[in-house]
Amino acid sequence: MKDDQIEEMFKSLEGAFDTKEPEAGHEQRFLKKLSGENGVVRLIPKKNSWWRPLSIAASIMLLFAVGASLYTNQPTIDEQLAEISPEVSQTQFYFASLIEDQIKELEKENTPETKKIVDDAMVQLNKLETNYKKLEQDLLNGGNSKLILSAMITNFQTRIDLIQEVMDKIENIKTYKTFDNENITI
Protein backbone atom coordinates (compact mmCIF):
# COMPACT_ATOMS: atom_id res chain seq x y z
CA MET A 1 0.00 0.00 0.00
CA LYS A 2 2.81 2.39 0.77
CA ASP A 3 4.45 1.61 -2.57
CA ASP A 4 1.27 2.77 -4.30
CA GLN A 5 1.31 6.09 -2.45
CA ILE A 6 4.93 6.72 -3.39
CA GLU A 7 4.24 5.96 -7.04
CA GLU A 8 1.21 8.27 -7.04
CA MET A 9 3.32 11.06 -5.56
CA PHE A 10 5.98 10.68 -8.28
CA LYS A 11 3.29 10.64 -10.99
CA SER A 12 1.77 13.84 -9.65
CA LEU A 13 5.18 15.54 -9.61
CA GLU A 14 6.13 14.34 -13.09
CA GLY A 15 7.47 17.16 -15.23
CA ALA A 16 8.05 19.39 -12.19
CA PHE A 17 11.62 18.17 -11.59
CA ASP A 18 14.47 20.44 -12.67
CA THR A 19 16.70 18.22 -14.80
CA LYS A 20 18.55 20.91 -16.71
CA GLU A 21 22.27 21.55 -16.10
CA PRO A 22 23.17 24.95 -14.64
CA GLU A 23 24.36 27.60 -17.06
CA ALA A 24 28.02 28.63 -17.31
CA GLY A 25 29.18 30.88 -14.44
CA HIS A 26 26.57 29.50 -12.06
CA GLU A 27 29.14 29.00 -9.23
CA GLN A 28 30.38 32.60 -9.44
CA ARG A 29 26.84 33.98 -9.38
CA PHE A 30 25.99 31.80 -6.40
CA LEU A 31 29.09 32.95 -4.49
CA LYS A 32 28.35 36.57 -5.35
CA LYS A 33 24.85 36.25 -3.89
CA LEU A 34 26.20 34.61 -0.72
CA SER A 35 28.96 37.16 -0.22
CA GLY A 36 26.50 39.99 -0.62
CA GLU A 37 24.30 38.70 2.19
CA ASN A 38 26.69 37.28 4.82
CA GLY A 39 30.15 38.42 3.87
CA VAL A 40 32.86 36.34 2.19
CA VAL A 41 32.25 32.62 1.93
CA ARG A 42 35.08 30.19 1.35
CA LEU A 43 34.64 26.94 -0.47
CA ILE A 44 37.87 25.56 1.02
CA PRO A 45 37.49 24.98 4.75
CA LYS A 46 39.67 27.14 6.95
CA LYS A 47 42.77 25.27 8.13
CA ASN A 48 43.21 24.88 11.83
CA SER A 49 46.90 25.62 12.19
CA TRP A 50 46.98 24.35 15.78
CA TRP A 51 45.46 20.95 15.01
CA ARG A 52 48.45 19.36 13.25
CA PRO A 53 51.15 20.25 15.85
CA LEU A 54 48.79 19.21 18.62
CA SER A 55 48.18 15.81 17.04
CA ILE A 56 51.93 15.29 16.49
CA ALA A 57 52.66 16.18 20.11
CA ALA A 58 49.92 13.82 21.31
CA SER A 59 51.36 11.00 19.18
CA ILE A 60 54.85 11.55 20.57
CA MET A 61 53.52 11.56 24.13
CA LEU A 62 51.63 8.34 23.46
CA LEU A 63 54.75 6.66 22.10
CA PHE A 64 56.75 7.90 25.08
CA ALA A 65 54.15 6.55 27.52
CA VAL A 66 54.07 3.14 25.82
CA GLY A 67 57.87 2.98 25.76
CA ALA A 68 58.13 3.96 29.41
CA SER A 69 55.57 1.37 30.45
CA LEU A 70 57.41 -1.35 28.55
CA TYR A 71 60.71 -0.32 30.08
CA THR A 72 59.45 -0.14 33.67
CA ASN A 73 57.43 -3.35 33.55
CA GLN A 74 60.42 -5.56 32.79
CA PRO A 75 61.67 -7.33 35.88
CA THR A 76 65.30 -6.84 36.81
CA ILE A 77 67.85 -9.63 36.51
CA ASP A 78 67.80 -10.11 40.28
CA GLU A 79 64.01 -10.48 40.24
CA GLN A 80 64.21 -12.98 37.38
CA LEU A 81 66.86 -14.97 39.25
CA ALA A 82 64.70 -14.97 42.37
CA GLU A 83 61.85 -16.43 40.30
CA ILE A 84 64.10 -19.19 38.93
CA SER A 85 65.67 -20.05 42.25
CA PRO A 86 65.12 -18.25 45.56
CA GLU A 87 68.27 -19.90 46.92
CA VAL A 88 70.35 -18.20 44.24
CA SER A 89 68.96 -14.84 45.26
CA GLN A 90 69.77 -15.43 48.94
CA THR A 91 73.26 -16.73 48.16
CA GLN A 92 73.94 -13.82 45.85
CA PHE A 93 72.85 -11.36 48.54
CA TYR A 94 75.08 -12.99 51.14
CA PHE A 95 78.19 -13.13 48.95
CA ALA A 96 77.61 -9.67 47.46
CA SER A 97 77.35 -8.05 50.87
CA LEU A 98 80.43 -9.93 52.12
CA ILE A 99 82.45 -8.88 49.07
CA GLU A 100 81.24 -5.29 49.35
CA ASP A 101 82.43 -5.11 52.96
CA GLN A 102 85.82 -6.53 52.01
CA ILE A 103 86.18 -4.07 49.13
CA LYS A 104 85.53 -1.19 51.55
CA GLU A 105 88.29 -2.51 53.80
CA LEU A 106 90.57 -2.86 50.79
CA GLU A 107 89.92 0.75 49.73
CA LYS A 108 90.78 1.94 53.26
CA GLU A 109 94.20 0.31 52.87
CA ASN A 110 94.91 2.23 49.65
CA THR A 111 98.15 4.08 50.40
CA PRO A 112 101.00 5.17 48.10
CA GLU A 113 102.85 1.94 48.93
CA THR A 114 99.83 -0.29 48.20
CA LYS A 115 98.19 1.72 45.41
CA LYS A 116 99.44 -0.49 42.59
CA ILE A 117 98.30 -3.74 44.19
CA VAL A 118 94.89 -2.30 45.18
CA ASP A 119 94.29 -0.90 41.67
CA ASP A 120 95.22 -4.23 40.11
CA ALA A 121 92.87 -6.05 42.49
CA MET A 122 90.01 -3.69 41.55
CA VAL A 123 90.59 -4.39 37.84
CA GLN A 124 90.50 -8.13 38.52
CA LEU A 125 87.34 -7.77 40.61
CA ASN A 126 85.65 -5.85 37.79
CA LYS A 127 86.53 -8.64 35.35
CA LEU A 128 85.08 -11.22 37.71
CA GLU A 129 81.93 -9.10 38.09
CA THR A 130 81.55 -8.94 34.29
CA ASN A 131 81.91 -12.72 34.10
CA TYR A 132 79.29 -13.08 36.82
CA LYS A 133 76.83 -10.91 34.87
CA LYS A 134 77.37 -13.14 31.84
CA LEU A 135 76.66 -16.21 33.96
CA GLU A 136 73.44 -14.59 35.17
CA GLN A 137 72.36 -14.01 31.56
CA ASP A 138 73.21 -17.62 30.67
CA LEU A 139 71.10 -18.84 33.57
CA LEU A 140 68.17 -16.66 32.52
CA ASN A 141 68.49 -17.89 28.93
CA GLY A 142 67.94 -21.45 30.13
CA GLY A 143 71.42 -22.90 30.26
CA ASN A 144 72.46 -25.87 32.40
CA SER A 145 71.37 -24.45 35.74
CA LYS A 146 73.46 -26.73 37.99
CA LEU A 147 76.64 -26.01 36.07
CA ILE A 148 75.97 -22.26 35.87
CA LEU A 149 75.06 -22.04 39.57
CA SER A 150 78.29 -23.82 40.44
CA ALA A 151 80.24 -21.37 38.26
CA MET A 152 78.48 -18.44 39.94
CA ILE A 153 79.44 -19.66 43.41
CA THR A 154 83.01 -20.28 42.23
CA ASN A 155 83.09 -16.72 40.90
CA PHE A 156 82.08 -15.36 44.31
CA GLN A 157 84.65 -17.53 46.07
CA THR A 158 87.36 -16.39 43.65
CA ARG A 159 86.56 -12.76 44.40
CA ILE A 160 86.68 -13.38 48.14
CA ASP A 161 89.99 -15.27 47.82
CA LEU A 162 91.44 -12.47 45.67
CA ILE A 163 90.50 -9.80 48.18
CA GLN A 164 91.87 -11.89 51.05
CA GLU A 165 95.15 -12.47 49.21
CA VAL A 166 95.53 -8.74 48.49
CA MET A 167 94.75 -7.92 52.13
CA ASP A 168 97.47 -10.39 53.21
CA LYS A 169 99.98 -8.77 50.86
CA ILE A 170 99.06 -5.34 52.20
CA GLU A 171 99.62 -6.58 55.75
CA ASN A 172 103.03 -7.94 54.67
CA ILE A 173 103.91 -4.56 53.18
CA LYS A 174 102.88 -2.81 56.41
CA THR A 175 104.85 -5.28 58.51
CA TYR A 176 107.92 -4.95 56.34
CA LYS A 177 107.67 -1.16 56.47
CA THR A 178 107.41 -1.10 60.29
CA PHE A 179 110.16 -3.70 60.66
CA ASP A 180 112.41 -1.74 58.30
CA ASN A 181 111.77 1.51 60.18
CA GLU A 182 112.54 -0.08 63.57
CA ASN A 183 116.01 -1.15 62.50
CA ILE A 184 117.13 2.31 61.54
CA THR A 185 119.34 3.93 64.17
CA ILE A 186 120.08 7.57 64.49
Write the pLDDT tens digit of every residue in 102-125: 888 888 888 888 888 888 988 999
pTM recorded for the entire structure: 0.52
Per-domain residue ranges of the chain: 50-76, 85-182
Mean pLDDT (the chain) is 78
Query: What local confidence, expressed as pLDDT, does residue 161 receive?
Result: 92
- The 10 Å CB-count burial string (b at 16+, else e) for 142-163 is eeeeeebbebbeebbeebeebb
| Confidence check: pLDDT of 127 > 90 | yes
Can you tell me the mean pLDDT for 75-101?
73
Query: What local confidence, expressed as pLDDT, does residue 40 receive?
Result: 55
Rounded CA separation 88/78 (Å): 9
Write the pLDDT tens digit of every residue in 1-41: 567 888 888 788 777 777 777 788 888 888 777 776 555 55
3-state secondary structure string, the chain? CHHHHHHHHHHHCCCCCCCCCCCCCHHHHHHHHHHHHHCCCCCCCCCCCCHHHHHHHHHHHHHHHHHHHHHHHCCCHHHHHHHHCHHHHHHHHHHHHHHHHHHHHHHHCCCCCCHHHHHHHHHHHHHHHHHHHHHHHHHHCCCCHHHHHHHHHHHHHHHHHHHHHHHHHHHHHHHHHHHHHHCCCC
Write the pLDDT tens digit of every residue in 91-107: 777 888 888 888 888 88
Write the pLDDT tens digit of every residue in 49-58: 666 777 788 8
Query: What local confidence, expressed as pLDDT, does residue 123 receive?
Result: 92
Query: What local confidence, expressed as pLDDT, does residue 131 receive?
Result: 92
Contacts 24+ apart (CB under 8 A), 161-165: 162/121, 162/124, 162/125, 162/128, 163/99, 163/102, 163/103, 163/106, 163/121, 163/125, 164/102
